[in-house]
Amino acid sequence: MSEPLRIGILGAARISERALITPARAGGHRLVAVAARDRDRARSFADTHGVERVADSYADLVSDPEVEVVYNPLANGLHGPWNLAALRAGKHVLSEKPSASNAEEAAEVREAAAQAGTVFMEAFHYLFHPVNQRLHALLASGELGELRHVETVVAMPAPPDGDVRWSLPLAGGALMDVGCYGLHAQRMLAPWAGGAPRLVSARGGEHSGAPGVDAWLEADLAFPNGATGSARCSMVDDTWQATCRVVGTRGEAVAPDFVLPHQDDRVVVRTEAGERTEELGRRSSYAYEFDAFAAHVRHGEPLPLDAEDALATMRLIDECYEKAGFAPRPRS
């Protein structure tokens, strides 16, 4: 076994358990420190999850010489500032998406990562699961023919009023919280579409009581090879939805839950030969993601996500907001 990563955790967010703690402990890595605005909450978090100690502040955690990897699951508007702080302290960073509040800030994150010479990765965990790799393989093999259209839908029931996801100062909104998955998934189809998609049009609706914050947004995309894309997101839906449908000249494939594929690991393939359902496994996409991150940090294994990719996604997010009549999210 290679030397374990030494990890510091910003905040005591619930997502940390499934996204980082469980896969890190399974891989034998060290949870060195946690910091939160409320020290008692940080202590409770550390006791519950086996974190070695509590740092006095976020700043103390990112400057701790024993911490080599910083995990950032804070509110969206705090991703950019603390990603920058961690990179400038010479740490590797695994950041929950999105990497920053807007493209300007994401560009600064990219520059900080380049100057630090450390690893920066935006936590698009879905990409590492066999479900999404299978969608790509079906295009690469030619079974679906040439890509003609892709549809992504990511929707969820509304968070309560007052939730940080409805906060404009904290970079909230449906596109930032869930829609970024759909846009990223479409961007990842560039190898089979002649290049990255460009935005054609977008429309959205404002959340009641949260001026400037999108409750839903739809975007139309166009790829260089003539294929089209449709990306829809919502934070006011009745149920959770996360579908990806890839249509080619010879058939189509659908992932019923491409964002959390360990909850529904099916890929349904339809061609002239008939319809079949493939089941790709229920291992967590977060586990695949963390294994890949650790292998890159320790052994230089290939990693498909970096600060440049994060910037490209954020530029597309900003363009969608502007086309839909919203302003890009402000910096915190």
Enzyme catalytic residues? 97
Hey, what are 163's tokens?
């939730």
Cβ burial of 160 (10 Å; 0-12, 13-18, 19+) is exposed
Q: Which of 268, 266, 263 lies closest to 246 in space, CA to CA? A: 268
